[in-house]
Chain A
Amino acid sequence: MNPDPGDAAREFRAEVRDWLAAHVPAAPLPSVDTAEGFARHREWERELAAARLAVVSWPAEYGGRDASLLEWLVFEDEYHAAAAPVRVGQNGLFLLAPTLFAHGTDEQRGHLLPRMARADDVWAQAWSEPEAGSDLAAIRATAVRTEGGWLLSGQKTWSSRAAFADRAFGLFRSDPGAERHRGLSYLLFDLNAAGVTVRPIRQLGGETGFAEIFLDGVFVPDADVVGAPGDGWRIAMSTASHERGLSLRSPGRFCAAAARLVELWQRAGDPADTAMRDRVADAWIGARAYRLHTFATAARLAAGGSLDAESSLGKVFWSELDVALHETAMDLLGPQAEVRGQPAPDGRWLDGYLFSLAGPIYAGTNEIQRNVIAERLLGLPR
């Protein structure tokens, strides 16, 4: 069955589908991780925003439509089915915005969210450091108190989108005497502020999808502290499940890819290759499982439930599904799989494959997620 959110959602689905059919560029945009592609994706975000489709689940006052979680999932279904461009503003939209809704001030929301919705500000995340990856609480970058604000120093790395983004959000040690999870603050800073150096890093696919950020006495006004100083860990973690769970990877992505995989199998598969057929079947079944699970989770959240350690189950599941799905496509494409720059639809698989490989690593490695599942859901000893 396909979970059916009702008449209003059907109308909404039709509107989204029609709009996307009329507006999604016929040829894929240049990669978001190039200067030209980044600019083109920013223009696309502005087009979405003008149609009030950039942030449908946000309140109308910030550019949204007050859509329910289920309607948001409907939007995502259609967005991915239409093969619409990658969301360049993803870090801000899905990580920072939920944090601002939960912990920001009215002034922060009123100033930051509309700019984010229109992609006037594209945000990068600045969590990891050279010595703080999976062990995020080992953060060393500091925020030192100064007149009217804070001075940031230190090094952040693996900052997605930082090569071309405008601003960044991250955790900094504001209490030098505190250790681990204590004494951290959640701060926002400009990537072109004095004292910031961004060094783009080429990823496996050759593009600069993330960067190192060096900070040397970068001034941040008090207005750009989210929540109370020293409370950063709790604030960051309270919305971390958004990143692992349904808001980062809606089922739309995997459903669209699974449908394309079945088409590829019909076009390129050897009917006698039952092992390959089984992999295609498993990919489709996995995408369906994730979709059904996500819709049920959304219904549970709408009824007042919460999403905590359970999001770790989904994060491992979707990231491994994504790799398996794309590996299957690569094997079906055979000698064509390695050829870069092919036109759509087959050309999408290689980019998607490279992207999928990062899934088990970011947003908390799958090993960390398995620890969370074992300790917090199953109750195994720490």
Chain B
Amino acid sequence: MRLAQSAEQEQFAAALHDMLTAADVPGAARRWAAGDRSPGLAIWRGLAGLGVTALAVPEKRGGLGASPVDLVVACEDLGHHALPGPVAESVAAVPGLLTVLIDQELDDQAPDDQAPDDQRPGDQRLGGERPGNEDLCARWLSGLAAGDLIAALALPPRLPYAADADAAGLVLLVEGDVAALAVAGARHQSLDPTRSLFEARGDQVLARGPAVADAATRALNLGTLASAAQLLGAGRALLEASVRHAGQRVQFGQPVGAFQAVKHHLADVAIGLEFARPLLDAAAVAVAAGSTTVPRDVSAAKVACADAAHRAARVALQVHGAIGYTQEHDLSLWLTKVRALIPAWGSQAEHRAVVMAALTGDGEAPCP
């Protein structure tokens, strides 16, 4: 179902899907995992060409100022293709964070003299100037929109690491009521071979105080929404791969997909995905409207999309059998990404707790 998918959104989704299909994303993901970012970054430039990176950037900052509904359409397809890189951060959360920060009071100081050091990737784009923080945020936003800049984000405790900070030209850390430009510290390898996790160290304070809390909330809502969309897309890809495999793989003289045990597993996957989608779409509409139900709706969407993707991944592995348990098979790219994204942006338990907190506040329990 789509609550609000317009003809334009369908065209946009189709164009994005065609671009990614032609781009050999699995090949780029494998190169990315091996440390060669160039094919992956080329795909990211392609995203910019289609406007994906500009969706969450306001028009006056060089972006499209698109609705979160459009963002969800795009992120679902990025998940469908298991695109490597900090998707939810760079396309959704960081634009949201910067947009709120720039409209609030920023520390209007020049960066400290002792920072930044030469290694900091953002420097190239800053051209060695010493602009104020508002200028910085404005430049980053236009850089993100244009696709010249990829952003990573750490926002503990929900987001303890800055994922793919080494591929990002901008690393931000939001901790408590402080938002800072950060440098990437120790690196940890994720279960997802295309995903590197970095400890982030604050380097230059951009803003502090209550404004940061608003910005962090916006970033978490958009990032969680985007990751839920990625999970739904990945789940859909896993179902498609499983149906293809089950139709081709012959055992006992017939395709394994003719066996009822296999059919029923795959039907359950389809049901889970079908009924997660309306929650995702409704959450996007709530975010777009600035509704008071945003925390509840975003968390409900994440719970359902993560559960649906998890089921899709388990069944996909089971239906593929031993070949699915190999790194060689492309299925591994989706299986590991789904497992990594499920707890990212808040665990299932945290999101269920958010839903229940919203339901058990004052007054009657709201009708779903």
Contacts and interface: CB of A to CB of B under 8 A. Distances in A.
Contacts of B13: none
A305 to B, nearest CB: 11
B360 A262 contact: yes
Given A1-B289, A285-B300, A378 B368 contact: no
Given A262-B359, A285-B303, A285-B304, A291 B368 contact: yes
B278 A258 contact: no
A274 B349 contact: yes
Interface residues of B, number: 50
A61 to B, nearest CB: 33
Nearest to B1: A296
Given A258-B368, A259-B367, A292 B282 contact: yes
A172 to B, nearest CB: 30
Given A288-B368, A296-B3, A297-B1, A378 B270 contact: yes
A137 interface: no
A265 B359 CA distance: 11
B276 interface: yes
Contacts, number: 146
B267 interface: yes
A1 B291 contact: yes
B368 A380 contact: no
B353 interface: yes
A313 interface: yes
Interface stretch (A65-73, A197-205, A368-376): A368-376
B243 A380 contact: yes
Contact of B279 (A289, A316, A379): A289
B272 to A, nearest CB: 9
Contact of B263 (A274, A281, A375): A375
B71 interface: no
Contacts of B247: 379-381
Q: Which of B270, B289, B365 has the most CB of A within 10 A?
A: B365
Nearest to A371: B263
A121 interface: no
Interface in B236-278: 239, 243, 246-247, 254-255, 257-258, 260, 262-264, 266-268, 270-271, 274-278
A290 B364 contact: no
A287 interface: yes
Given A274-B349, A284-B368, A285-B300, A293 B359 contact: no
A237 interface: no
Contacts of B1: 292-293, 296-297, 300
B2 interface: yes
Contact of B367 (A81, A377, A381): A81
A254 B367 CA distance: 9
A254 B277 CA distance: 18
Interface in B32-69: none
Given A277-B352, A296-B2, A316-B271, A378 B266 contact: yes
Contact of B365 (A251, A263, A278, A316): A263
A266 interface: yes
B356 interface: yes
A262 B367 contact: no
B286 interface: yes
A292 B353 CA distance: 21
B366 interface: yes
A281 B355 contact: yes
Contacts of A240: none
Contacts of A262: 356, 359-360, 365
A281 B279 CA distance: 14
B368 A255 contact: yes
Interface in B282-311: 282, 285-286, 289, 291, 293, 297, 300, 303-304
Contact of B255 (A277, A375, A381): A381
Given A284-B355, A374-B266, A381-B247, A259 B278 contact: no
A259 B304 contact: no
A374 B279 contact: no
A282 interface: yes
Given A259-B366, A292-B3, A380 B258 contact: yes
A292 B366 CA distance: 14
A258 B366 CA distance: 9
A3 interface: yes
A297 B274 CA distance: 12
A289 B304 contact: yes
A326 to B, nearest CB: 16
B278 A293 contact: yes
Contacts of B268: 316, 370
Interface string B220-247: 0000000000000000000100010011
A374 B368 contact: no
A358 interface: no
Contacts of B270: 313, 373, 377-378
Residue among B257, B263, B267, B353 having the largest count of chain A Cβ atoms under 10 Å? B267
Contacts of A274: 349, 353
A256 interface: yes
Contact of A77 (B277, B278, B367): B367
A284 B359 contact: yes
Contacts of A291: 368
B3 A370 contact: no
Interface in A351-382: 367, 369-371, 373-375, 377-382
A209 interface: no
A268 B239 CA distance: 40
Contact of A373 (B257, B267, B279, B293): B267
Contacts of A3: 3
A284 B270 CA distance: 20
Interface in B306-351: 348-349
A282 B243 CA distance: 28
B258 A292 contact: no
B258 A381 contact: yes
B19 to A, nearest CB: 26
A289 B275 contact: yes
Interface string B1-27: 111000000000000000000000000
A292 B281 CA distance: 9
B239 to A, nearest CB: 8
17 contacts: A254-B368, A255-B367, A259-B367, A278-B352, A281-B353, A281-B355, A292-B3, A293-B1, A296-B2, A313-B271, A367-B264, A371-B263, A375-B263, A378-B239, A380-B255, A381-B257, A381-B258
10 nearest A-B residue pairs (beta carbon): A288-B368, A374-B263, A262-B365, A292-B278, A370-B267, A296-B1, A373-B267, A281-B352, A380-B257, A287-B368
Given A1-B297, A373-B271, 14 more contacts: A1-B291, A255-B368, A258-B368, A262-B360, A277-B353, A281-B303, A282-B303, A284-B368, A288-B279, A371-B264, A377-B270, A378-B266, A379-B247, A380-B247
